[in-house]
Amino acid sequence: MRTRRGRGGTPWLRSAARVGVAALTVPLVLSACGAGGRPDGDSGGAETGVTDDTITIGAHFPLTGVAAPGYSEIPTGAKAYYDYVNANGGVHGRTIEYVYRDDAYNPTNTSQVTNELVLRDEIFAMVGGLGTPTHGAVLDFLHDNEVPDLFVSSGSLLWDQPDTYPMTFGWQSDYEIEGKILGQYLAEHHSDAKIGLLLQDDDFGEDGEKGVRAYVDSQIVSAQRYAPTTNDVTPQVSALKDAGADVVVGFTVPSFTALSQLSAQRLDYDPQWVYSNVGSDSALVGSLLSRFSEGAVEDASSLEGALTTEYLSGVEDSGDPWVELWQRVWEEHGGDEPLTNYRIYGMAQAYTFVQTLQATGPEPTREGLVETLESSGGEFAGPTLSPFRYSPDSHAGVSGVRVAEIVGEGTEPLTPVLLTDNGDAEITEKESDQAPPPEDGIPDAPAGN
């Protein structure tokens, strides 16, 4: 069982991760539009955060600052889904009160707002707190206060330590299995290529590199790392060009995907790009390219043909029944802004929490949530393309991804959904089809994938 602690690391979507380009960007300030605090009322002797009529949960997100673009949209999607569930009777007669606070992607702030959520707002559970360095700062506090710490918005391996943190669970596919699946694809389809790696210098890059090297180690000609506090990756991209890399795999967040594209254009360097799903949302990358270049680059057309992975259907998949559900939820309970992949991420995560609550029963306890996920979570059917790995011995999230090609502002799948686990576990194809959403869009109880 893993019990390691990382140095930093980060998420994403289509995840979330450290962004450190403050010197280059103008901070984007977005309003913190979370729900209010815990309502007054008799708890009826129930668990902390649970009354006869409500369940209060909390989360932390970068609602302001340089990490806000994209990631600040996640809780708006989650809130829209909780509001949808509440409007349809809630869960076992209780409505979900969702309190999320701004930590500006600063671990010190994360500790402060988490303290407020636990001690002042008296949340029942933390659900979807975002970021490896930020959430890593509150792991011990949540553990010491026996607060369920569910579905961390990050692909770090830190969240799968049931012996050390028995109430913490990951949600999305982790960076190592994503790297493995990308590595296998490159070994099969680019077997003669010279491969370069562009890696964020923390757990995000380290875990992804581990997975990629499992399949193409002998093909790698250069591994370049960048500090997430820098504002230029031109030296790293130049080194990859000088090494003759004709395929570059980037474990980068959206800001550094954009920076790497700008650097490559300045250097007249055009390799086959491969990006982690963390940094491959072309709509967001396009807006960042325009901003960073002061309008000289208008969109993410340079990402056309790049490879990535995905574990959720995206907003461009308009005919997908899950996306149709998210669109309906957003139209009924969202704001005036459009549905985005980040909002879909938040809705999908909220769906899993509602599913967990439903399965836990009408008298939810904190221990009951954990027991539900360990006993039944691996059988949950839902919006993720592959099942979760939850069991008493594993708190790891989604078990696989599919490789896709970026086309316009969407993607086209290149492989079936591929499943694996950490270490030397083999990669296999998912055999069953994804279950459609319930007709009313609200899970009743766990059901097999």
Q: What is the mean pLDDT of the chain?
A: 89
CB 103 within 8 A of CB 113: yes
Find the mean pLDDT for residues 122-148: 96
> What sign does the dihedral 265-289-255-160 (CA atoms) show?
negative
Q: How far apart are CA 207 and CA 174, in angstroms?
A: 8
* Amino acid 445: pLDDT: 61
Whole-number Å distance between alpha carbons of 397 and 382 = 13
Where is average pLDDT lowest: 56-70, 261-275, 345-359, 365-379?
56-70
Q: Cβ atoms within 10 A of the Cβ of 50, count? A: 21
Nearest residue to 208 via CA among 219, 217, 220, 199: 199
Q: Is the pLDDT of residue 422 over 80?
A: yes
- As a whole number, mean pLDDT of residues 285-301 equals 91
Q: Distance between CA atoms of 238 and 243, rounded to whole angstroms?
A: 9
Angle at alpha carbon of residue 206, lines to 202 and 207, rounded to 5°? 120
Give the distance from CA 289 to its chain's centroid: 22
- Count CA atoms closer than 13 A to 239's CA, side-chain side: 14
User: Torsions phi, psi of 400, nearest 5?
Assistant: -175, 175
Kind and range of the H or E element at 96? Answer: strand 95-102
pLDDT of residue 27: 31
> What pLDDT, on the 0 to 100 scale, is given for residue 40?
41
Q: How far, in Å, CA of 122 to CA of 143, rounded?
A: 15
Strand partners, 398: 388
Distances (CA, A) of 285 to 277, 372, 439: 12, 38, 34
Contact indicator for 315, 341 with CB cutoff of 8 Å: yes
Strands 168-170 and 125-127: unpaired
The type of residue at 154 is S
Length of the chain (residues): 449
Say yes or no to pLDDT of 185 above 90. yes
Q: What is the mean pLDDT of residues 103-127?
A: 97
Burial 344-354 (b: 16+ CB within 10 A, else e): bbbbbbbbbbb
Per-residue pLDDT, averaged over 335-355, amounts to 96
Q: Quickly state the pLDDT bin for 41 (edges 50, 70, 90).
A: very low
Q: Which residue has the tokens 């609602």?
A: 63
Distance (Å) of CA 408 to CA 45, 210, 301, 304, 412: 54, 30, 7, 6, 10
**Cα separation, 436 vs 323, whole angstroms:** 11
Give the per-residue pLDDT at 299. Answer: 87
| φ, ψ of residue 97 in degrees (nearest 5) | -95, 120
Q: How many CB atoms lie within 10 A of CB 99?
A: 23
Position 316, amino acid: E
Question: Interior CA angle at 226 toward 271 and 311, to 5°?
Answer: 65
Q: What gap in Å lies between CA 349 and CA 327, rounded to an integer?
A: 15
Mean pLDDT of 251-276: 96
Greatest distance between any 2 Cα atoms in the chain: 68
- pLDDT tens-digit map of 172-181: 999 999 999 9
Q: Is pLDDT at 94 greater than 50 in this prediction? A: yes
